[in-house]
Structure 1
Amino acid sequence: MESPLLRTAFRRAIVACQNPAKRRVGLQPRRYFATPVDAQGGRDDIQAAPPIRFTSEDDQFSQTRPRAELITNDTFARGGRGGGRERGGGGGGDQEVDYRQLLRRIRVVPASPSYFTATPRYTDDLLHLSSLLRKHQLLPMVMPGEAPRVAWKTIDQYKTELAEPIRSKSYNTLLQLLKRLNYIHPSLMPQEITDALEKYKRDVQPHLNVPNPIVVNEYGVAKAVGRRKSSTAQVYIVEGTGECLVNGKSLTEYFGRLHDRESAIWALKATQRIDKYNIWALASGGGTTGQAEAITLGLAKALMAHEPDLKPALRRAGCVTRNPKRVERKKPGKLKARKMPAWVKR
C-alpha cells in the first residue's frame, strides 16, 4: 500500500515534468558569511576580537567611560572628595568603597513627575491645586455670590508666564479649581491656599478700584463730570427752583432741538425733581447731542450725591450708565462712514 508521502512525491514529479517553469534548480547558490567558518574554507588563524569587559580594572574603565566623582554623605562626613576607592570607617573594618562601581548604577531621576509631559509646569500647578483641594475640601464654604471677587490671570498672561502651549479647556480646568478654593470661608482659609491663590491673581484688581465719592460741599453744591462720545460736561447742582444754565445760556437758547433739551434734564424729569434743583453746566467738545447726553450723566451723578436713594430709579431710567459708543469715522471715497455715492454701481 502506498504511503501518502510517496504519493505526494510522485505527483510533484509529474507536475514538474509537464511544466518546465516549475522545475526546481538542483544546484543552490553557495552563501558566504562575513565571519569565515570552516565550511567555507576560511583561514583558521582569523578569529573575532575578544569581548570588552567593562567590569575589569580601573584603567580599562577609564578608557571606555569618562571619569567622574561620586560624593556621598559619608564622604562629606569624613571631609574627603571620594575619587576612586576609599576605605570605610567605623566598625566596618577595611572595607573598600568603589565609587566608580556605584556610578554605573546611578540614574538621573527628574524632580517633577510631569517632567516628560508636553506642559510640565502647567501639570505641576494642576496637581498642586488638586492636592490642596483634597486636603481642605471639608472646610466650610461661603454662599454663592458671597466669595471675595478676584480677577484671575487671562490665558494669554498665563501662557506667557509659563512659556508653554496651554489650551483653553486645560486653563478652564485650572480656573475651576481656583474658584472652588476661593469659596472657602475667609476666616478659615489656610495660609498655603492663600499663597497658592496669589500666584494666579492679576497684578491689578479692578474690583478694588473704588471711584472717589461725590460729596456736597459746605455751600450745598455737588459737582460731577459726564462724558459722551467726544463731549465733556461739568455739572453743578444745588437746591433751588428749577433754573438751568448751559455755558451761561438758558436751556432753550443753547439747545435748539427739543430732544436735546429733554435729554439734558432727563435725570430730574425721571425722578420728578425738576422744580427742586438749580443746574449750572459747562459743556465742551462734540456736537449738541453728545453734550446733552454728557450733561445727563453728570447731572445723575451729582443728584445721587444729594439723594443716594435715587440710584435704582436713575439706573432704570438709563441715566447712570455711560454709553461708550462713538461716531464711526468717514472712509475715503464715501459720503459718510459707509454710504457710497449714487454714481457707484452696486
Structure 2
Amino acid sequence: MSEQTTATSLSELKNLVAGTPAAGEASAAPREPKKDQFGRSYATGRRKNAIARVWVKPGKGTVEINGKAASKYFARPVLRMLIAQPFLVADRYQQFDVYCTVVGGGLSGQAGAVRHGISRALTNFEPGLRPILKKAGFLTRDPRVVERKKYGKAKARRSFQFSKR
C-alpha cells in the first residue's frame, strides 16, 4: 500500500504535487500522424445539418468538393475564404490537396462543415498543428442549429398577427 502524507502548509503541498505529473502532462507524448495507404488523412466535419467527409494529402492546393472545383461549388468568395482559413492560419496554403464529399444543409453550413473537416484532417496529418487550429477555434464543432417550429406559432418563435376584431 502507498503511504499517505499530509501537508501542513501550501509550500509542502506544492512540493508534494511537484513530484506527480500534471493532468495535461500525462498525455504529452507526441501524437502519431494518421494516414492511409495513399498518404491521405481523413476527417469528418459538421455544421448545422451538413456533414463533410474530407481527405487531405500533400499537393498543389487543389480543392475538390463533390467532384467539382471549390470555385465552382462555392461561388461566393466568402465561402471560399471560409474553407481556406485553416490553411492560412496553419501557414500551409497551397500545400495540400483536398478531396471532399458534403451532404445536407445549405451552402453556408456546408462550407462550415468543410472547414471543420479540413481542420481535423490537418491535425491528423500533422499533429503539431493542433494548438494553432484549436486556438483559432476551427476544431470546435459549432453547435448552433435551426430551432424547430412550434405548434401555435408561425415559425419557431414568431406568433400570428393579432387581430382585435
TM-score (norm 1): 0.38
User: How many Å apart are 1:277 and its aligned residue?
Assistant: 0.7
Deviations 1:3-52 (A, max 9, x none): xxxxxxxxxxxxxxxxxxxxxxxxxxxxxxxxxxxxxxxxxxxxxxxxxx
2:17 to 114, 138, 142: 142
CA–CA separation in structure 2 for the residues paired with 1:324 and 1:229? 7
**Does residue 1:329 correspond to 2:152, yes or no?**
no
> Which residues of structure 2 form unaligned runs of 5+?
8-14, 25-31
2:130 to 280, 287, 311: 311
User: How many Å apart are 1:215 and its aligned residue?
Assistant: 0.8
Q: How does 1:71-220 map to 2 (within 5 A)?
A: 136-138=4-6, 141-143=16-18, 146=21, 215-220=34-39
CA–CA separation in structure 2 for the residues paired with 1:285 and 1:294? 10
> Which residues of structure 1 form unaligned runs of 5+?
1-134, 150-212
CA–CA separation in structure 1 for the residues paired with 2:155 and 2:85? 30
Structure with the higher fraction of residues in strand conformation: 2
- One-letter amino acid of the counterpart of residue 38, structure 2: Y
User: How many Å apart are 1:218 and its aligned residue?
Assistant: 3.1
Aligned residues between the structures: 149
CA–CA separation in structure 2 for the residues paired with 1:147 and 1:222? 31
Indicate how the Cα distance of structure 1 residues 145 and 333 shifts in structure 2: closer, same or farther if over 3 A, else same.
Answer: farther
- Three-state SS of the structure 1 residue aligned to 2:17 is coil
Deviations 1:173-226 (A, max 9, x none): xxxxxxxxxxxxxxxxxxxxxxxxxxxxxxxxxxxxxxxx76112321111111
User: How many Å apart are 1:323 and its aligned residue?
Assistant: 1.5
Structure 2 counterpart of 1:344: 162
Indicate how the Cα distance of structure 1 residues 229 and 297 shifts in structure 2: closer, same or farther if over 3 A, else same.
Answer: same
Indicate how the Cα distance of structure 1 residues 334 and 263 shifts in structure 2: closer, same or farther if over 3 A, else same.
Answer: farther
**Does residue 1:247 correspond to 2:56, yes or no?**
no
- One-letter amino acid of the counterpart of residue 142, structure 1: V
CA–CA separation in structure 2 for the residues paired with 1:270 and 1:224? 18
CA–CA separation in structure 2 for the residues paired with 1:145 and 1:268? 38
Deviations 1:104-158 (A, max 9, x none): xxxxxxxxxxxxxxxxxxxxxxxxxxxxxxx944388424994669xxxxxxxxx
Indicate how the Cα distance of structure 1 residues 244 and 144 shifts in structure 2: closer, same or farther if over 3 A, else same.
Answer: same
Structure 2 counterpart of 1:231: 50
Q: How does 1:275-314 map to 2 (within 5 A)?
A: 275-314=94-133
Indicate how the Cα distance of structure 1 residues 145 and 282 shifts in structure 2: closer, same or farther if over 3 A, else same.
Answer: farther
CA–CA separation in structure 1 for the residues paired with 2:50 and 2:35? 25
User: How many Å apart are 1:270 and its aligned residue?
Assistant: 1.9
CA–CA separation in structure 2 for the residues paired with 1:147 and 1:241? 41
- Three-state SS of the structure 2 residue aligned to 1:142 is helix
Q: Which has the higher contact order (CA 8 A, sep 6+)?
A: 2
CA–CA separation in structure 2 for the residues paired with 1:144 and 1:331? 57
Root mean square deviation of aligned Cα? 3.0
User: How many Å apart are 1:258 and its aligned residue?
Assistant: 2.5
Structure 2 counterpart of 1:46: none
* Contact 1:235/1:302 (<8 A) preserved: yes
- One-letter amino acid of the counterpart of residue 56, structure 2: I
- One-letter amino acid of the counterpart of residue 225, structure 1: T
**What percentage of aligned pairs have identical amino acids?**
34
CA–CA separation in structure 1 for the residues paired with 2:20 and 2:106? 42
* Contact 1:214/1:224 (<8 A) preserved: no
- Three-state SS of the structure 1 residue aligned to 2:64 is strand
Structure with the higher fraction of residues in helix conformation: 1
User: How many Å apart are 1:314 and its aligned residue?
Assistant: 0.9
* Contact 1:245/1:280 (<8 A) preserved: yes
